[in-house]
Structure formats: structure tokens, C-alpha cells
Structure 1
Amino acid sequence: MYSIVDIETTGHSSKITEISIFIFDGKKVVNEYTTLVNPECSIPPFITNLTGITDAMVSNAPKFFEIAKRVFEITKDTIFIAHNVNFDYNIIQKEFKDLGSDFKRKKLCTVRLSRKLIPGLKSYSLGALCASQNIEIKDRHRAKGDAEATTILFEQLLQLDTDNVVINSFLNPRSRQATLPPLLPKKIVDNLSEKPGVYYFKNEKGEVIYVGKANNIKQRVISHFYDKSKKEQTMCLETSNVTFEETGSELVALLKESSEIKHRYPKYNRAQRRTQESVGLFSYEDRDGIIHLAFNRLKLIANPIMSFYNATDSRLFLEKLCEEFELCPKYCHLQTNVTTCFHYQIKKCNGICKNEEAVDVYNLRVQNAIKSVQFQTNNFVIKETGRTAKENAYVLVLNGIYQGFGFVNSKQTLSSAHDYLNIIELKKDNNDIKRILNSYLKNQTKNIEPLADYVPELNSFDLCAIKQK
């Protein structure tokens, strides 16, 4: 017995506004339940435009807790079916969870079944599928109309699936088919690399919607499909393809991921997709010889220690630095218009602001704080494993600025900065890259090779000229 379900929701808040359930025995509909649902919140105008369901229509409708028993009983001992099943199933399951109850059913997705049994279509949306199979949708984007059309579609799929071979394989709990996003063919996942690299989630238009890195690409990609967070579920519902590039090592994967996010600006990468840094951290010495740390607009600073996307980021970073090295908030410009900093009162400042600490002792801690966020040497290369056994990867830093990474045959000898510049792919330096490299350098020493030759200050034009020689 199958329960074929469709729901309409409020959109972002994912509260149910309408539900329709058709109980199908494989040949005919034996029961049906349809009702509007009061979501206990406003319905956004764009949802009303799509479904036609208004706040007035649901104001006197039952709330979900009032229909929960009916939904639970009518779907009991059935296989839960929907178009993009994880969407409907997860929302209903959450409604039950909010009531302190469990809702567990075996489930099937008509999108995935259609991809298997009706291959080669450009789109597997309900509208496109029904049009290709001559199924009329009497009331599109309303729960009953869509559920009825899905029932007819499922009946046709049953007829195409001789001896239920495909359906039984999808119902097998050990089968990956049951957990894959509805638009993503299984063969794409099967062909993913199990090596370190960067992977790209793409939608039906071929647009990159997410970039990630992994030590094991296939394993990491699959883990997204088991994640129950709303962001992950929404992203997976949009995913129709996954591509990848091997990098040989986790470090190169991290660097490439950061670069790709800033280049492609994927909608589901929020942490690193900012591109324009505008605030810089700098130091200066006052008349008393005390070294200050402060931040200002980047264009007003000649040689910033670090750069940030906004004043909030820079302030938070400076606060952590101040705490870690027991610096004075007054001389870090975190507390202004004060004679003695508040940290002195709670014994977190050693008293430089009270003339109770020697200037040279305090300055030494400031210098150590600055060193902690800078590379120990200005010119060095990091040697990492390549994409194959016969290849090495190199990450290049010149004058304290990240230049990029590249791959070269392990038999090739490289010694000078010019040698490395000829084999790397030039990349932009930024604060996220510095964070990645500093984290790596704190835990690694053996793979780092200082470059003995002095490299003058180089701009992007000079670097391109060197590569062309």
C-alpha cells in the first residue's frame, strides 16, 4: 500500500498550509485526505501568488496538531511517496517532532524513479514529467492537484517497472538510491574520486551552487546527503550534478576551495565568499616608545599586518590577540578615552597604562603578537604530495605574500623563486589564505623550504613577465 503525498508550505519557514494524501493499492485509489492547514504564521505574498492560498483561507483551517492523528493513521503501514520525497517527508516529520512524536515511513521518490524508468528527459519537474506522459494536472501548485497527478505518474512507473525490480532496489535500506538527491544520478556519485580534492555541486542549469574540499571526495559528498540541516537539505534538492578536481593534498584542496569560492561566489558558500577586504590592522610607536595596535581603512595604511572584510572582523580578531598576549586594550584602541584600561582592574593587563610595566617588556609581547600572525620567513615554498605518485605539489610565498600553487613531475629540480614561479598558477592573497597557511605552518615544519635567493617586491605585472621568460 502506498501513501502519495503533496504539501504546500509557507516557503522559508516551511510550515504546512495544505496537505493531500492519496492511498493507492497499486491499481486504484482506496482512500484520500485533503485539507488546508493553519500554519500559525503569515504566508508570504510570493507563496500566495504561486499557490493561491491566502492568510484568510487558512485562518479557520485546523492547525497541524489537530490533524496529526489523521495523517499518522492514514499513512500507517504504507510506503510514503512524493515528488522530491525528502522535502515533503522531512517537513511532515519535523511537524511530528515538534509535537514530541516520531514519524517514520519507508519512502520512494517519483523524481528518482522517473530518472531510472524514463531516462533522457531534459527536466524531471512534476510539470515537465506530466507533460511528457500526457498527464493532466488539474490544479497545479495545490496539494490535491499535485498529489493526484503524482499518483497517476506513479501508476505508470509501476507498469514500466517489471516485477518491481527498480522499486525494490530503491526501498532497500542499504541502497544509496534512497539517500541521493532526487535530481542526482547514482552513476555520478559512483564515479566520484576517493582522493583529496575540491568538489562542485551544480544545479540543473549547470551553475555551481556549492564548493567544498575533502580528503576523500566521495565520502564527503555523500555525507551532505545525510545532513538534516535545512541549508543542506535545500542545497541537495537543487543538486543535479557533482564534479571534482583532485589536488593530491588537503592543503592544496583548502587553498583551491577558498580561491574557487571567491571566484564563483556560490549561493550556499557563505563563510568565504566575501571578496573585498576594506580594513587593515597596523602598528605604530608613540612618543613614549609604546607600540600600539590599531585598525583603519585599508587605503589609509601603507603596510597592514593583516586585512579584514569589515571593522567588526578586525575588532574581534584584535580582541582575541589582546587576550592571548595580555596586551592593553587602551593601546590596542579597543577602549578609548580612558586613563587606565578596564582589563587592569580585573588583572588581565599588566599595567602598561598605569606606568607599572616596563615599556620594553610590554613591547616584546606586542612584537610576539605580530609575529604570531606573520610568516616566520618572507620567501618559502611548501612541498606537498601531488595528484599522482610521480608528481609533487608546491605552494609559493614571496615577500610574505601567497603567490599560488602548482604541480610538477617529481624528478624535476626546482631551486629558485623563478623556478617555482614558472610552474605555479598565480592566485590572489587574502586573509582567508593567510589563515589557512598559518594554521598549516603551526603544525608542519618538515615540508617547508626557505628560498635563499632574495626576491624584490613584485607586482602582478612583474610576476606574469617572469612566468613568460
Structure 2
Amino acid sequence: MTKPSDLLQKQTFAFLDIETTGGNSSRDRITEIGIRFWQGGEVVGEWQTLLNPEARISPFIERFTGISNEMVADAPRFEEIADDLEAQLEGKVFVAHNARFDYGFIKSEFRRLGRLFSAKVLCTVKLSRKLYPEFRRHNMDALIARHNLAQVQRHRAMGDVAAMLAFFERALADHGADSMTTALNTLLQRPSIPSHLPTDILHDLPRAPGVYRFYGENDALLYVGKSTNIAQRVASHFSGDHNTSRGVRMSESLRRVDWTETAGELGALLLELKQIKQMKPLFNRRSRAAKNLVSIELTENSEGYLQARLVREIEPHRLGDYFGLFRSKRDAENALSGIAAKNDLCNKLLGLEPDQAGPCFQRTLGRCRGACDGGEDRVKYNLRMQIAFHNLRLRTWPWKGPVGVVERNPENDRTDILIVYNWMHVATVHDYQELEDLSLRSQAVTFDLDSYRLIAKTLMAGSRERSLQIIELDAVGSPDVMMP
């Protein structure tokens, strides 16, 4: 084997595995910890213990791990071994397979005691992906089979530790100390973290879809963002991708990060829009709520010619009668001016000139064909109007009533059912019982330009988005609609 580099020679690696009562570090507890210490090519010690989780171990977990309630009844509680564990891990590289799981549980146990725990973390899943990118699967069973490692007692702490360390040594033998050191340095390199945040903040963040929020001094909300991978997106904020004066000011102000997970991207997008409009974060520039949403309605005048008028009260049940959604009267009038110029339509009938006797001003310039003074046939003019405005017509709601859009994330076993009606996001529930109990009549929602565009694009798009399950809902009532 190649002589270890200085990193491999001098640094102690703590290969750690835990067994737990479940998969959620906020509510489940640790039942076993096993650690094997490695430095300079050899094992230099080990430490292990069963733990009393102060909670019942379910029959499923008992069958999975082989650890029963009787086995842990007289075992120490975490608080009794916390000092020793912290001393064992001090200055070591915390190595685990899918390290976010093990590290998250250890941090949560310390947090319950009112203590902070932090370590430099190496994930052997990521190490395998980096050193063996030609393979698709990198779970422990796959590594044991692929590298012909010795069989161990799986799902017991020291058995999994033995398999993990065997993989590490096999990778070192395959790639040599220099390549191994390069890979380790890359994986152990921490992003530049704003000075007022914990250095291991990224280990707490989920690798899942959702919305994240940055807070400053006095808990002022600085920024709301969304991502299909919260941890990855937040890390990018701390990297060179955001070396703007705005990014620097936000980073210097940052004091706290929190987040809300969702099952999928649509839920994250809708939650981001809602929170930006309601919470008004200081550094978000886009998607603020429009105070005066404006649309265009076509009606016939007394001579039967179609005329345009601006409307501010949009009735969601008759969206097909409206053309365009605009954030201001000026935006709507600019759109009308463009349509008039492109199609030689009458500015008077479009409401761009006062409704006075005689032809419009554009008629005198030859840019109106005479609908204002009877010079153009009514049927022909109305047909040209309908063609000119066709692409601005709002989508009518294609279902009889509200629908539930189901998003599932198999990686964290999360399901969101997004209740949508007339292109408005009404509510989110997480299972069918909540759906049955939901009364839309108690929900107040606002018809919103950004949500309309997002939902219409997603639900009316091609095969990828169509893979979303859509449930038509009956007998749940209709929400109260508020206009901006």
C-alpha cells in the first residue's frame, strides 16, 4: 500500500455508526454507538455502547437492528456518556456512511442537553461517488458486494463500522495516498460560512425540496428562497456565486437560517411566492404582491363594436372573459398601445383616447381603419379585435371544481397534497384524512398573477408535469376569494 500522506498519517479518523429507534432525529433516539479510530494505516482504538433511548423500540426496528427493549433497559442514557463521547471525538474527523444521518442524530442528542456539538465530517457515500463515479449505487451493501469486502453484522453499529473502514482502506489501496488525499481535502473543505452562523450549519439543512429563510439582527427577515435541494442552494449563497455588493451585505447581516421542507418543486415554488408576498423580506426584489392587479375586458358598445376596458375586480370563475394580467394600469395601457399599433385598431375603442365625437387621432394618421367613425365594417373589426387579443386570453379552469395536486418525495417519505382552484393555491394537506376534513369555505385566498402563471404552466404542461397525480375534489365547498 502506498505510504500515507501527511493527512492520512497525522489525522485521526473516527469511523462511527449509530442505531436508532427511527429515522427522524427530532423525535427518535439513539440505541447504539460504535466507533473505530484509524490513523496512519492502522486502527488505534475503538469505543462502543448500547444506549437507553428512553423510548420504546418498535417491533420493526427490533427486527431490523436486533436491538430489543430488554437489551437497552439497563444501558446508560445519552446524557451519561455525552462527556466521554465528546472527548473521544474531539479533534477527530467524524466519518460515517450517509453522514448527515449519524451526525444529525449526535447533534440532536447534544442539543437536548443544551449543548452544541461540531466536528469536521466525512461521508463515505460521497467518497465512493467521487472515487468510483462509474457506479450508480453507493449504499453499504453495494460497496460490500462490489469491492468483495468481508461480510459483517449489518445494522449493528460495529458491524457497519467495520464495513465502512474496510471500504476506506480498499479505496486507499486502489487509488493511492495522493489521490485519496486530494479527494479527502475536497470533501472536507467547508464552504465559507458567514461569521455569525455555526460552522456546521450546512449539515443541519435538508437535501430536499423546500423554502429557506435568512434572518438578520433582531430576527429581521432578509431573504426567502426555494430549491429542490435546500442545503446545496444555501451553500451556493456562501460561495463565490454571489460575490455582489447585495450578496455581501446580506451575508454580513445574516444571523439565522430556517427552512420548511416540501414534497416537491411545485409546493416549494408556491410557498416561496406566498412568503415573499406576505412577509416582504428585505433582499427579495421579485414576486412582491401587486397592489392593483389589472386585466382587460372586451365588451360591445352601443354600435356593436368591441371595446376594451380595464378591470380591477377579477372574478376567477370567469377568467376566460379577461385578457392579460398586469401589475399596474400603466402596464395594461402599454400593452393596449402595442396591440393597437400592430393591428391598426382604434385607440378610442381601446380606451387610449377620450370617448368624444368624431374619429380618433390615429384615424387622421391612417393608423385606424375607421371603426370609430363607421368606416370599417363592425363584423370585420370585431374579428380583428378577437384575433389581436387571442394570445392574452386567460385560461379557464378546466375542472369542475377544486383539485388536489399530489407531490411525493420517496427519499423522505413525504407527501403534499396541494389544493388548487381557479389557478389559486388554497391550502396544503399531507394525507387523505386531512383532505377529507378540509373545508374550503373556511379558506381565504387571493387571486395572484405569479401563482396563476406558475400553476397554469405546471398543470397544463407536458408529460413530465402531467405525471403529477391530480385528484378532483367534491363537496368541499369553494374558497372565499380576495382581490389584491
What's the TM-score, normalizing by structure 1?
0.48
